[in-house]
Each structure stands twice: as C-alpha cells, then as structure tokens.
Amino acid sequence: MKTSDSLLAGRYAAAYMPPPGAPGASEESARRLESLRRLGKEAAPALPLLLRPLVPARLKLDILAKACPAPELARALALASLLVRTGRLGLLEEITSRCALLADEAAGVLRAEVTSRYPLSDAERAGLEKALSAFSGRRVSVSGRISEKVLGGFEAGFGGFLLDATLSGRLARLRKKITT
C-alpha cells in the first residue's frame, strides 16, 4: 500500500471513530467498528464489482444500499458511500484495521505483535498476554506472526517497545558481553 493511501486510511478512520476522550468512547468505538466489519462482510460478494472503475458510482451506491439495508449500518454505509464517490473504496479494509486500533486505544488495550518461528499455541498466547500486561500496566492483546528469520524464541513489539527474546538476539547480547 502506498504511503499516501495509508495516511488517507488513517484520516478516514479518525473521522469515522468517536474522539478518544468523549464519555462512552470505548463502547461507541466498539459499536462503530463492529458495524464497519459487518458492512465489509455483507458487501464482500459485491466487492469485485464495486471496485471496478468502469461501473458508475450511482450503480455502486445502489448495490451497497441493497447489500446492507440494516439501519445500524447507516454510519458505515455513509462512509462506504463517501469512499465510492471519491474512488477510494479499496481503502475500506485498511480503514477497518485502523479503526480497530483506535477502538483498542479507546478501550485501553495495547496491541502486541509477536514474531516466532512457529504459530503460538493458545497457552503461549495467554501467557504472553499476562506477562506483557504485567510489564506495561495495561491490558495487552497479542497477535502472532511467523518468520523464517527467527530460529528460536520470539520477538514482541508493543507500545513503542521491542522485546527481543530470540536465540540470535541472546547470542548477540552474549557476544557483546564477552567482547567488552
């Protein structure tokens, strides 16, 4: 994704979600995020057609309105309509992920991305969430990522921190300790 698209997605997400300091922002954020995710699911079958540049915007708007008639989706549908009119409907997935970050922030949840050689088991994920929550003082939600570069251990990035518990990181620290 281009940097300009990423910036735009962040701006759309910030405009769509409630301000973080508002009363009840956490619940409202969760509700808006859920309606946006639901809109994405209900509009998914029509998405290939909606992303074609030759299909007129008016037809795309009609398809969206028919695919998502539920009244609780009105705000999400308004955002999707704006994206259709500006030719940016392809940003919907990135906007949804940015909204998820904003909703977590409003709820006081810190996201951590853990990189390991193999997928994390549920017990490992729960243990990491507990340990990182104790370290940060906030509730932590862990998502896993697999990388061939990690030979053993894991690397966790969260809240501006990078915790390197990989085998290569440990060996590098040991090498530095021995040579100095």
- Give the phi and the psi of residue 50 in degrees, each rounded to 5: -70, -25
pLDDT of residue 173: 93
DSSP 138: S
The answer to whether the beta carbons of residues 152 and 117 sit under 8 Å apart is yes
pLDDT of residue 113: 92
Residue in the block written with tokens 């539920």: 70
Q: Residue 138: which pLDDT band, with cuts at 50, 70 and 90? A: confident
DSSP 90: G
CATH number of 109-179: 3.40.30
Q: What is the bridge-based pairing of β-strands 161-166 and 109-116? A: unpaired
Residue 87 has pLDDT above 80, yes or no: yes
Assessment of whether the complete model's pTM goes beyond 0.85:
no
Taken in order 26, 32, 36, 41, is the CA torsion positive or negative? positive
Q: For helices 74-86 and 57-67, what crossing angle results, to 10°? A: 160
pLDDT of residue 146: 93
